[in-house]
Amino acid sequence: MEMKETEERYKIIDQAFGGAFVVLGLVVYYGSDHREQREKKYEQRTEASDVAESKHGVVAADDGRCSDIGVSVLRDGGHAVDGAVATALCLGVVNPMSSGIGGGSFMVVRSSSTSKAEAFNMRETAPLAASKDMYEFNPLSKYIGALSMGVPGELAGLREAWSKYGRLTWKALFQPAIRLARDGFVVAPYLGLAIEKSEELILSDPGLRKVFAPNGQLLRSGDTCYNVELGNTLEAVAEHGPQVFYNGTIGENFVRDVRQVGGILTMEDLRHYKVEITDAMSVNAMGYTMLGMPPPSSGTPGLALVLHILDSYGSSDAVKGPLGLHRLIEAIKHMLAIRMNLGDPDFVNVTDWITDMLSPSFAKSLWQKIFDNTTFPPEYYMNRYSQLRDHGTSHFCIVDSDRNAVAMTTTVNYYFGAGVLSPSTGIVLNNEMGDFSTPTEISVDKLPPAPANFVEPKKRPLSSMTPIIILKDNQLAGVIGGSGGIFITPAVIQVFLNHFVLGMEPLTAVQYPRVFHELVPNKVLYENLTMIDGDHIELSNERKVFLKERGHELEAQAGGAICQLVVQNLANPFIVTSRKIGEQPNSGQVFHGILTAVSDPRKDGRPAGL
Ligand SMILES: *[C@@H]1O[C@H](CO)[C@@H](O)[C@H](O)[C@H]1NC(C)=O
Ligand SMILES: *[C@@H]1O[C@H](CO)[C@@H](O)[C@H](O)[C@H]1NC(C)=O
Ligand SMILES: *[C@@H]1O[C@H](CO)[C@@H](O)[C@H](O)[C@H]1NC(C)=O
Ligand SMILES: *[C@@H]1O[C@H](CO)[C@@H](O)[C@H](O)[C@H]1NC(C)=O
């Protein structure tokens, strides 16, 4: 009862940000005697608010306030990258359990005028004092506490992307996030749950306690949360640029806080941090071109391999129905086995593996090992190394009025990262070192850890994050991505297939029950969850029975991944503009169709349109 009330309080305030004052009025008017009617209104609101449509520009983030902030930047004439900076900073404040300037990200940007797509790798690096065996005597310290922190990359990456594409001032993009941090923001139900689940972690760290349990009481959904120090940090970075963190007073304070609780971070680490900017990795499958991150993301090559395996059937009908689902699961099992050979390409030579994962003929050789009547034990898939089980994250998609597009996935790894908040800067430390493999760690599958992903100074750990921009005939068709660690790539693939191949409406494509696999244990994890708005998502019985008949062991799981999706309707473009002459000789035109943005109802997010 109490819980429900506070959730509603949040929703009312959340709505106020979105401008849907009609609903706000109704709630107040009906009062507590008309509970049923009131709840019905919420249902309608929720249905409507999971989707935003616009001819001009959209933002699909997993928090409505941040989608609104992104759209307000687009409204001011900002490039999609400007929107991404403001949206990411907002998420770092209101969803501090998943992302923030103490973490790292992958960002894919495609410019409509040049057709060029770039990948910004702002993932955390291992500190200079890190080593392969650093967790030998305390394996837990890879996941919790200051030793689990990689050198944060988020601010440096946002700055690089903004320097190349930004149209608005750096300072202006920070103002909404600064206000939220300083003046306080309402704890959304999802954050409320994360705080509740992380009680022990929060209460045992003075920094987290001060922000999330002021007065000794854990904040709950509907309460107001303040992180004044983070507001001050953001203001300093807005004013002086990221140098104040990477080579200035904020950085010095941060390093002092980290070292005080046993961390190994130095100013030298911060000064050495470098964003990697490369061409996006391009994959052609099922009639579309997908642009994503190269390694250390296993997401794009993983998506390529699965889609190429499915393409081997020679017809899009192959992915339909329960049999299509069985084939998809088998393809995912093959992909998981192979992806653990990947690592940071600056440290390990992954050329041969990438060539394989992107090759339709390699996919065909795996396709021949898939049978419609059965599944197999993990060994069958040439499973050599134990799986990386990463966590956390937040994904958003942005398309602006010129049809520039951004797909960005950002993370601090586990909920509240390392479980430490730097008191002087308000920054939550990531625990991205947990995404490295370590020689001595015993894993559930008893397979050896993957050497390509061992710790080395300045190396970046392998990641499942899969931000993707989708093209059809060189026109923007969609933007997609998700959060949820090892479950991200399968979720992104399922949403892609649902909409672009099976023809589901964008919201249905995102909402449709998903399945996952980890290879070991040899189980299909199927979704069975009741969402914050009360809707239930569960794999159909027909599908469960079909999979069981093929020997799959099934296990229900409450959730797994959250996906955001933007699609552009290319059937009837209402404007066609020319690309700049000379920049792309055969480019011709840029289609502008209606944009539909969906935020996954599983996280109660809300997209926004211009
Ligand atoms: C750090 O700042 C100092 C001056 O304060 C400057 O000389 C140095 O070049 C900077 N280093 C980097 C890596 O930016
Ligand atoms: C990586 O491996 C490929 C194929 O085995 C080889 O051709 C290439 O020279 C190697 N690259 C480096 C930098 O060693
Ligand atoms: C599956 O089908 C293949 C032939 O396509 C057959 O050889 C095999 O025995 C079947 N397996 C099961 C478990 O029915
Ligand atoms: C599915 O989820 C519901 C709650 O949402 C729960 O009551 C039920 O037991 C779950 N089913 C399984 C098989 O776990």
Model confidence over 136-186: pLDDT tens digits? 999 999 999 999 999 999 999 999 999 999 999 999 999 999 999 999 999
For residue 217 and ligand 3, the question of a CB distance below 6 A is answered with: no
Q: Which ligand is nearest to the CA of 558?
A: 4
The whole-angstrom separation of Cα 438 and Cα 433 is 10
Polymer length of the chain: 610
Residue with tokens 């019985």: 541
For residue 577 and ligand 1, the question of a CB distance below 6 A is answered with: no
Q: Which ligand is nearest to the CA of 368?
A: 3
Distance 228 CA to ligand 1 centre (A): 28
* Strands (E) located in 518-561: 523-530, 536-538, 553-557
The whole-angstrom separation of Cα 35 and Cα 575 is 46
If DSSP codes are grouped into helix, strand and coil, which group holds residue 193? helix
* Options 393, 409, 425, 438, the catalytic residue: 393
> Annotated catalytic, 355?
no
Distance 248 CA to ligand 1 centre (A): 9
Distance 560 CA to ligand 4 centre (A): 15
Probe residue for ligand 1, chosen from 128, 247, 252 as the CB with the greatest number of ligand atoms within 8 Å: 247
Taking CA atoms only, the protein residue closest to ligand 2 atom 12 is 349
For residue 371 and ligand 3, the question of a CB distance below 6 A is answered with: yes
Q: Which ligand is nearest to the CA of 537?
A: 4
Taking CA atoms only, the protein residue closest to ligand 1 atom 2 is 247
For residue 369 and ligand 3, the question of a CB distance below 6 A is answered with: no
Distance 529 CA to ligand 4 centre (A): 7
Phi, psi of 92 (to 5 degrees): -65, -30
Tokens of 100: 């923030």
Probe residue for ligand 4, chosen from 523, 525, 528, 545 as the CB with the greatest number of ligand atoms within 8 Å: 528
For residue 32 and ligand 3, the question of a CB distance below 6 A is answered with: no
The pTM of this model reads: 0.91
Q: How many CB atoms lie within 10 A of CB 6?
A: 17
Q: pLDDT at position 587, please?
A: 55
Q: What is the position in ligand 4's atom list of the atom closest to the CA of 529?
A: 5
User: Is residue 192 a contact partner of residue 309, using CB atoms and an 8 Å limit?
Assistant: no
Paired strand residues for 120? 107, 277
Domains along the sequence of the chain with CATH: 3-52+63-94+124-274+411-453 (no CATH), 278-389+466-609 (1.10.246.130)
Taking CA atoms only, the protein residue closest to ligand 1 atom 8 is 247
**H or E element at residue 130:** none
Distance 284 CA to ligand 2 centre (A): 24
Distance 534 CA to ligand 4 centre (A): 13
Distance 116 CA to ligand 3 centre (A): 47
Q: pLDDT at position 2, please?
A: 30
Q: Which ligand is nearest to the CA of 355?
A: 2
Q: pLDDT at position 120, please?
A: 98
Taking CA atoms only, the protein residue closest to ligand 4 atom 8 is 528
Which residue type occupies 253? N
Which residue type occupies 351? T
Taking CA atoms only, the protein residue closest to ligand 2 atom 13 is 349
For residue 374 and ligand 3, the question of a CB distance below 6 A is answered with: yes
Residue with tokens 């959250």: 562
- With a cut of 50, which residues of the chain have pLDDT below it? 1-47, 584-586
What number of H helices and E strands is found in the chain? 21, 22
The whole-angstrom separation of Cα 42 and Cα 51 is 15
The whole-angstrom separation of Cα 163 and Cα 245 is 17
Distance 311 CA to ligand 1 centre (A): 51
Taking CA atoms only, the protein residue closest to ligand 3 atom 14 is 373
Q: How many CB atoms lie within 10 A of CB 287?
A: 12
Q: Which ligand is nearest to the CA of 513?
A: 4
Nearest to 126 by CA among 431, 411, 424: 431
**H or E element at residue 494:** helix 488-496
Nearest to 603 by CA among 188, 107, 220, 40: 188
Q: Angle between the 228-240 and 170-183 helix axes, to the nearest 10 degrees?
A: 170
User: Is residue 117 a contact partner of residue 291, using CB atoms and an 8 Å limit?
Assistant: yes
Taking CA atoms only, the protein residue closest to ligand 3 atom 5 is 371
For residue 247 and ligand 1, the question of a CB distance below 6 A is answered with: yes
User: Residues lining ligand 4, CB < 6 A?
Assistant: 528-530, 556
For residue 373 and ligand 3, the question of a CB distance below 6 A is answered with: yes
Distance 200 CA to ligand 1 centre (A): 40
